[in-house]
Amino acid sequence: MTTTTPAAVADLDLARALTLVERSVVLRLGEALKAEGGTLEEWRVLSFLGDGEGRAMTEIAEFALLSAPTLTKVVDRMVSLNLVLRRVDDQDRRRVLVFASERGNEALTRWTAAVEQEQEGIVSALGAEETALLRALLQRASRRLG
């Protein structure tokens, strides 16, 4: 009978390895955004709305990788902070669209600079070539598995 050590299982566990890297990146980006008064979720929402187009909640949820209930809480908080506005869709009065406010666009500029700076630190830690390879592999895996 063969026994598998926890270390051997960890070495074989792709999901665990991906989760550890994802947590590290999210933590670093989250700390950078927190220093600027934002969150990763808020930055993702605003970055999707940054083109000035109003978006439906379902589109935002998909882009921001959030469940509908979580997105509703995030958007409610962002409305209260005057970062986004909700408006009824002119083409379909049953739909509500979310738009970045002027204050939201200003926050997006600051937050994107913080994210870009932190991403430079991540690229520096990993190496530019390895980062490009990792990005390409993850994009390919996402297309194949998604």
- Confidence at 45, pLDDT banded by 50, 70, 90: very high
Delineate the domains of the chain, giving CATH numbers in brackets. Answer: 23-145 (1.10.10.10)
Using a 10 angstrom Cβ sphere, with 0-12 exposed, 13-18 middle and 19 or more buried, the burial of residue 128 is exposed
pLDDT at 40: 98
pLDDT of residue 9: 58
Evaluate if residue 7 carries a pLDDT over 90.
no
Other CB atoms within 10 A of residue 60 CB: 21
- Summarize pLDDT for 82-103 with one digit per residue, the tens: 999 999 988 888 899 999 999 9
Query: Cα–Cα–Cα angle for 116, 120, 124, nearest 5°?
Result: 170
Distance from C-alpha of 17 to C-alpha of 30, rounded to nearest angstrom: 20
